[in-house]
Chains A and B, each alone.
Chain A
Amino acid sequence: MNLVDAGLYGVLVGGAVAVAAAVVLRGRARNVIAGLSVMAVGAFAAATGLAALAGMVGTGLVIPVSLPLVGGLDPLVLAPDRLGGFFLLLAGLVIATSALFGIGYAHGAAASRTGWTGFAVFAVGVALVPTAADALSFLLAWELMAIGSTVLLLADHAERQAVRAATMWYAVMTHLSFLLLVAGFGVLIAAAGGTSWSRMVTIAEPVASVAFVLLIAGFATKAGLVPMHVWLPRAHPEAPSHASAAMSAAMVKMGLYGILLVTLRLLPTGPSWWAVVLVALGAISALYGILQASVQSDLKRLLAYSTTENVGLITTAIGIGLLLHQSGQQAAAEVAFIAALLLALSHAVFKTTLFLGAGAVLHATGERDLDQLGGLAARMPVTALTFGVGALGAAALPVTSGFVAEWVLLQALIHTDAKADRLLAVVMPLTMGVVALTIGLGLLTFVKAAGIGFLARPRSEAAARATEVGFTMRAALVAAAGLTIGLGLIPGPLAQLLAGAVGATGIATSGLTGIQLGGLGTVILDPLVLTGLTAAMLAGIVIVNGIAARRHPRREVDLPWGCGGERTSPRMEYNATSYSEPLARVFGASLNTRRSVEIEHPEDAPLLVSGMVFNQETVDLVEDRVYVPAARLAQRLGDLARTVQNGSIHRYIGFSFAALLLVLVLVTR
């Protein structure tokens, strides 16, 4: 038994202890012990993942199964390979951080017996998915993850009606995903004659393409790619914040793990249209996600849409990698795959920071509507700073993990030799344009989220009364933000480890901590040198500034300029809605923005204005044009069925008689 196996047992034992603690203990003790046990699950998962990523192979947990009448069942095996190890590491980090946050944050229904049990089951499920080495244990772990998260999501259903609707969307979409996966794996199992991954390596066309479509559709639903993203902006805002963080940062990644599992391990020799499908799916999701995110004013909904954007970018990177691989440009392809993995880890850490930050704001103010926030930087400095770091990561600015990841992706794009390949000559510039626009809009989105939420003056009483959150929550925020910065400052060793996970050569550590993409010439990024350069400049500036400040100190005035007059009411500040108004106008057609202006007149003077009401709402285009008509169609079909099932006993006796006749006819034939 080596480290990998021990870690797997640790995950299972930790989960069991957490469930026991959630059931037996009560009050504060439940939060602390169950929270710590889930943290242990995360820590074991991360350690196991790191060991597996570094190339350590265990015997794994092998559970022989046999079912009556079903032959060809391979035993259930939990043994992570290097790729699985990476996703296990990612999930472990996220779970540990969000469980730590949950200790202080969970209250009400989220701190109940059911709430913590749900979280523990969910954590174990997420950790087991990437360890599965066969289809059956994969699906079991997948379902464990789905059940745990659904229970968690339902936590506040008694207080808010929206929670029930969100859970319904989530449950339907997650089971759609499960059904598609069962069908997809069913096809593979039938063709391979067994459930183990190792048997499914020689699948021929057209079976492979059928399985590809089914599996990718299933994984895309879990990952939240357009058009299957509709559950994200509903489920993430309504879940308790530590659960939103774990769902958005870890669970959604399992969909991406699935996509990588299919394209790299199970069906590695697909035709080029597979890659184009992935690039298109990813690019559309990235653009649509960030556009929607940029106009949201609900902080957690904004973050949920940004998850769709990031998952889209990662899928694009995977698609680009496959495309380059098929055209024989191995070095650039490997860089694209590394970019996908870096993007995934970077999204995991910064999105954890952001969701936990949003949770802290929600905890302190009871508000997640940006239009009601503001002025929190002075009241919650730790939350503001960590949220700022997360926002920098999401906007892919230095020196965060997000910047490094997007840099690697852009390097893969720019070092493509597309002269010989017409397909690449079209796909590469388009992808570059999409990625660039996504980065630009992401910048706007996160300047808005951080600036409107934390700067200027509070826009509501609740925001004005906010105070900093407790120790465990701050600790979790600092840990997540620290990871975001750390991975941005020292990306080299991680990239080198990841290179092993996708079998890449040529990616090395440059200097102490930088990344060197050897296959593409000598392309180097050394964030420490850049940071040093910036720090040197900043030091000079601060010294000059200090000298000036000694001569002319800053003065605090009660009556600042306020544009020449007294400071106006905080309601006059730009809020989140007005911030994105120009953008909503530019992209009006694809955003489905509806606005209405109602003008009230005094009774006796129809030309005067006594009041105005402005209303603007953005309805998800896909939901409006695809899901609502589909639901309506189902409703209509149901209505048709009702004419058959009208409750009349005579008719049912008639049906029975007809059925009997039919059976007789069939039997006597």
Chain B
Amino acid sequence: MIAAIVVTLVHLAFALAITPVLIGVMRTVRARLEGRVGGGVLQPWRDVIKLFAKEPLRAPGSSAVLIWAPLLLMASSLVLCALIPLVSTLSLPGAPGELFVVVSVLLLGTVALAMLGLESGTAFGGMGSSRHMMFTALVEPTVLLSIYALSLPAGTSTLTAIVRARRDDLSTLLNPVSILAIVALIVVVVAETGRLPVDNPSTHLELTMVHEAMILESGGRDLGWLEFGSWLRLTALLGLTVNLAVPWAIASDASATALLIGAAAAALKLVVAAALMAAVEVFIAKLRLFRVPELLAGSFVLAFLSVSASYLVF
């Protein structure tokens, strides 16, 4: 019990510490590849601190959603980081990192964001919210099916147990079922966190933006929470994917050495994955809005094949 609480706290601290660095790395890689200098790896930290030192505005007649949605997004992202096996596979006894629980916590954050977009009362907010929810709806089958596929060899839908089983049994890592499911999951991460080619994270004020459109009317600490919350989602989802794909060196107890090794390994995996993601993003353009469902349908097919293959072939 105490070990589990320690691990949860370590997860939270790790996520809070690494997230801005991760975003900084992605931006720097992108800048360097485009021939710019970039703001440096610590720029996201400075951005957030700046935002918290500014006063937020509110329009007359706006409701409590304006104030609470950013906080809820942040809370949902933190719970996500606590539940997902980032550094260690230990989990809280009453709240194992169960697949559907994790997904629904993620969705709570999504809903908070979408409601905020609608609350802003401008065309942009509604537009972003509508598109974001459409992507979420279409990505949902892929999420559930791909983790369903990964859960079959482990015999459980608890993420910690899946990661542990994959670490201990190499044969589950390098088979078509697992590879198909991981590819499908990568598409999910891209769509859920609004990266290219689904949404352009570095855009501002263009008609095709999705995430930026929803947070357009927020400022000050509201925007700070929104930014940080969204980044944390990237850390959590990317962390889950890399730990599923490359489950080595993740801690399985709460001893200091194991946790240190786990944290260092997780940081390394995350930074490499983020750098790769940013490097790939340089070479691709944003998809047309109505081509995105095709991408998501494709990822659904991969996930479906993965489940059927695990039943019928392996």
Chain A residues engaging chain B, CB cutoff 8 angstroms? 294, 375, 377-378, 384, 395-398, 403, 406-407, 410-411, 413-415, 418-419, 422, 424-426, 428-429, 432-433, 435-437, 439-441, 443-444, 447-448, 450-452, 454-457, 510-511, 514, 521, 523-526, 528-530, 533-534, 537-538, 540-542, 545, 548-549, 551-558, 560-563, 567-568, 570, 572-575, 578-583, 585-586
Q: Please, which residue of chain B has its CB at the minimum distance from the CB of A409?
A: B100
A521-B156 CB under 8 A given contacts A377-B63, A451-B129, A574-B130 = yes
Taken residue by residue from 209 to 222, chain B's Cβ proximity to chain A (1 for < 8 Å, 0 otherwise) reads as: 00000001101110
Collect the chain A residues with CB atoms within 8 Å of residue B225's CB.
541, 545
Question: Contact at B55–A572, with CB atoms within 8 Å?
Answer: no
Within 8 A of A (CB), among B191-228: 216-217, 219-221, 225
A398-B57 CB under 8 A given contacts A439-B140, A443-B107 = no
Within 8 A of A (CB), among B54-79: 54-65, 67, 71-72, 74-76, 78-79
**A329 to B55, alpha carbons, bound, how many Å?**
59
Complex interface: stretch among B142-150, B166-174, B246-254: B142-150
14 contacts between A and B (CB under 8 A): A378-B62, A411-B100, A428-B311, A432-B148, A440-B141, A444-B136, A447-B111, A451-B115, A456-B125, A556-B59, A560-B58, A562-B217, A575-B126, A586-B290
Question: Contact at A436–B143, with CB atoms within 8 Å?
Answer: yes
Collect the chain A residues with CB atoms within 8 Å of residue B263's CB.
none
Question: Contact at B141–A573, with CB atoms within 8 Å?
Answer: no
Q: Does B256 contact A (CB under 8 A)?
A: no
Q: Does B231 contact A (CB under 8 A)?
A: no
> How many chain B residues touch A (Cβ–Cβ < 8 Å)?
83
Question: Contact at B95–A437, with CB atoms within 8 Å?
Answer: no
Question: Contact at A570–B121, with CB atoms within 8 Å?
Answer: yes
**A534 to B102, alpha carbons, bound, how many Å?**
12
Which of A436, A437, A554 has the most chain B CB atoms closer than 10 A to its own CB?
A: A436
Collect the chain A residues with CB atoms within 8 Å of residue B120's CB.
456
Question: Contact at A457–B61, with CB atoms within 8 Å?
Answer: yes
Question: Contact at A433–B71, with CB atoms within 8 Å?
Answer: no
Collect the chain A residues with CB atoms within 8 Å of residue B64's CB.
377
**A448 to B111, alpha carbons, bound, how many Å?**
10
The 8 Å CB contact of A574, one of B57, B82, B127, is B127
**A199 to B161, alpha carbons, bound, how many Å?**
49
Nearest-Cβ distance from residue B80 to partner chain A, whole angstroms: 10
A563-B145 CB under 8 A given contacts A451-B115, A455-B118 = no
Collect the chain A residues with CB atoms within 8 Å of residue B308's CB.
425-426, 429
Nearest-Cβ distance from residue B312 to partner chain A, whole angstroms: 6
Question: Contact at B71–A541, with CB atoms within 8 Å?
Answer: yes
Question: Contact at A549–B221, with CB atoms within 8 Å?
Answer: yes
The 8 Å CB contact of A447, one of B82, B96, B129, is B129
7 closest Cβ contacts across the A-B interface?
A574-B126, A440-B140, A529-B94, A440-B137, A451-B118, A456-B121, A425-B311
Question: Contact at A582–B118, with CB atoms within 8 Å?
Answer: no
**A395 to B104, alpha carbons, bound, how many Å?**
10
Which of A440, A454, A573 has the most chain B CB atoms closer than 10 A to its own CB?
A: A440
Nearest-Cβ distance from residue B191 to partner chain A, whole angstroms: 12
Nearest-Cβ distance from residue A132 to partner chain B, whole angstroms: 37
**A533 to B134, alpha carbons, bound, how many Å?**
29
Q: Please, which residue of chain A has its CB at the minimum distance from the CB of B80?
A: A537
Question: Contact at B130–A545, with CB atoms within 8 Å?
Answer: no
